[in-house]
Structure 1
Amino acid sequence: MENKLFSHIHIPEFPITIDHKDQLYSIGSCFSENIGQILADQWFSIDVNLFGTLFNPISILNLFNRALEKKYFVTDEIQESGGLYFLWDCHGKITDTVKERVLSKANQALDQTHDFLQHGQYLFITFGTAFYFELKKDHQVVANCHKQPQSLFERKKITASEIVSKYEEFHQKLNAINPNLKTIYTVSPVRHARDGFIANNRSKAELLLAIEILEKQHSIFYFPSYEIQMDELRDYRFYSDDFMHPNPLAIKIIFDHFKDSLFTMETKDLFSKISKIKAQETHRHLFPESEDAKRAQIMLAEKKAQLKKEIFG
């Protein structure tokens, strides 16, 4: 009998591969930011959570639809509280002390998203929770409560069938304008303890079931980050101090699975080369003004330029 120390998650072979020439876009929970930042550090062309962290499927889709229609945010949509201006559709990343900057940041993010949906190759969507909040006064779904009184909101949960209905229509639009775009869904392994663990599990179940149905469509795939964390990395040593978020080691292990499953062999070889250059860039010379240090910096710059030329032409 094979001696196993942990459950290994089998990841089905993907019929797609990603390389540095592809344009990528990552949106969703904080886990999407973790993975997206690793890709950005490895010189991939990727937009990561342009509107800030988004947890529920409705808020993600609302922004996609706005981007597709180029429905820009206007002054009347801006809210103010304690000298800060914000938008209900966006995370605090867009918040500012100047109203005009809020519009500028949000609409620039819409433009970038629109351009990606028209021309990009790989879209990564990470669902965090099926729970969401909407304003009692007009039933607007909010991406973030922005520390406003809870009495303003009603907490609701979207079902798998509702997610499927809304996202099928979205993917039909995408296929019409950019048939080469592939979508890779994940469910965030971050546990939402404030919902309670029973409610959290049922919420994740809605998300997983919805993606299972969507996955049957052409150009839609699922990467099991949630399952890797829950089953392969079930020990608390793979969690941060709050016992809810994956720690850096867990994120690295999940990303290694991601890399092994989705990238070409040539691209995987480049990861180590880029990592070595980045390590050399962070190295601090004892005497940075010395001739040896200056010579090392010149050689490193040439090495970096040569590698970028090999990758991007």
Structure 2
Amino acid sequence: MNFMASIDIKPLDIPVKYGDKLFLIGSCFTEHIGNALGGLKYDVLQNPNGILFDPASVVNSIMSYIENRQYQPEQLFLLNEVYNSWAHHSRFSHIDAATAIGIINDSQNQAHRFLQEADWVIITLGSSFSYRLQEAAPGHSAVTGLKNGVANCHRAPQQWFNKHMLEIEETISLLDNCYHRLKKFNPKVKIIFTVSPVRHLRDGVVANNRSKARLIEAVHHMVNKFTDLFYFPAYELVIDVLRDYRFYDIDLAHPNYQATEYVMQRFTESCIDKTSQALMQEVRQLIIARNHKAFQPETAAHRRFLQNHAAKAKALQEAHPFLNFTEEIKYFENQGSGLD
């Protein structure tokens, strides 16, 4: 008797591999994937504008990287003594406008360079809801180029915004235009779409399901239209395979550690090549060793442990030049020399 539905995930014809440059953008679930891959020494850049949820915000951000759009002080607005950008997460906000602009434009420049060389763009869409700033709202003049849409509300009063659920056709139009601009900018790039399994319960269960359904339909339209677009079913793995509240955090909205690890395992199996999967195990062992806290650090056994792992890190880095174990090698050698 089966107690879990299964999903047959077709492996990518040309899978992700070590040495590829991976650009990730979208909802908070993007960062689960990005942090996992980055922690295993993949070359990643994630969310240069911070977390983004709706297709309009994601597309506008990608367009800004392609154009290497530079932000100006007049595109910031002051709220609660902090300068913010409607196009960016609050981690780019600052009490000094010049500092905020510097942080934002440094991120823009880095994203422009990385995206131009990226092998993969992984886009995770979270919600079809787009927030539009009302013309009468303070800070309206700072939404230049966003068509009044905002990527982050920065806890501004709710009455400043109009909430709009994007139609399927609107999302398709946004994604289609973005695809053509991106391919012109970087012809080799391939795209993996996912839909975030995070449930936006503040919208209500019914509205959340409508929102997700529109994203899924729009993404599959794109995947069926172009040969270098792919869909990874992160949403379905959590909602339809795990489908139990024990796989959610206390808020009943965000998948917990076990759920995200399961999704990452399935992503690895279906989207990453076999050689890289084997190498990931070796990298993981070195990362675990780096984080190991010895109960008896002064012993000869621990010294040998450090020396052995320093040698392993050097050998892996020499065999695979795209891996960077500088930090780990330094740690193992410094810790070992301190015991002499």
| Range class of TM-score, shorter chain | over 0.9
Distance 2:66 2:292 in 1: 44
The answer to whether residue 234 in structure 2 is matched with residue 236 in structure 1 is no
The answer to whether residue 220 in structure 2 is matched with residue 212 in structure 1 is yes
Q: CA deviation at 1:239?
A: 0.9
Helix, strand or coil for the counterpart of 2:29? helix
Q: 1:97 aligns with which of 90, 95, 98?
A: 95
Partner of 1:74: 72
Q: CA deviation at 1:283?
A: 1.2
Q: 2:269 aligns with which of 250, 254, 260?
A: 260
Q: CA deviation at 1:291?
A: 5.0
Offset from partner CA, 1:258-282 (integer Å, 9 cap, x none): 0000111111111211111111111
Q: CA deviation at 1:292?
A: 4.4
Partner of 2:121: 123
Q: How does 1:240-251 map to 2 (within 5 A)?
A: 240-251=249-260
Distance 1:79 1:308 in 2: 46
Partner of 2:32: 34
Q: CA deviation at 1:119?
A: 1.2
The answer to whether residue 180 in structure 2 is matched with residue 182 in structure 1 is no
Distance 2:11 2:41 in 1: 25
Partner of 2:320: 311
Q: CA deviation at 1:311?
A: 2.3
Offset from partner CA, 1:164-190 (integer Å, 9 cap, x none): 112211211222232210000000000
Q: CA deviation at 1:295?
A: 4.2
Distance 1:147 1:40 in 2: 30
Distance 1:187 1:30 in 2: 11
Partner of 2:153: 145
Contact 1:20 1:312 in 2 (8 A): no
Partner of 1:111: 109
Q: Which amino acid aligns with 1:98?
A: D
Q: Which amino acid aligns with 1:242?
A: D
Instruction: Tell me the TM-score normalised to structure 2 length.
Output: 0.88
RMSD: 1.5
Distance 1:82 1:173 in 2: 37
Offset from partner CA, 1:221-266 (integer Å, 9 cap, x none): 1100001111101011111111111111000111111000011111
Contact 1:70 1:114 in 2 (8 A): yes
| Larger displacement relative to structure 2 (232-241 or 300-309) | 300-309
Helix, strand or coil for the counterpart of 1:255? helix
Instruction: Tell me the TM-score normalised to structure 1 length.
Output: 0.95
Q: CA deviation at 1:101?
A: 2.2
Distance 1:304 1:226 in 2: 36
| Larger displacement relative to structure 2 (37-46 or 266-275) | 266-275
Partner of 2:144: none
Distance 2:58 2:179 in 1: 13
For structure 1, the residue ranges without an aligned partner over 5 or more in a row are: none
Partner of 1:298: 307
Distance 1:210 1:308, change over 3 A: same
Helix, strand or coil for the counterpart of 1:312? coil
Q: Which amino acid aligns with 2:238?
A: Q
Distance 1:305 1:141 in 2: 49
Partner of 1:133: 131
Q: CA deviation at 1:290?
A: 4.8
For structure 2, the residue ranges without an aligned partner over 5 or more in a row are: 141-146, 323-340
Q: How does 1:190-229 map to 2 (within 5 A)?
A: 190-215=198-223, 216-229=225-238
The answer to whether residue 307 in structure 2 is matched with residue 286 in structure 1 is no
Partner of 1:168: 176
Distance 1:263 1:166 in 2: 28
Distance 2:127 2:294 in 1: 46
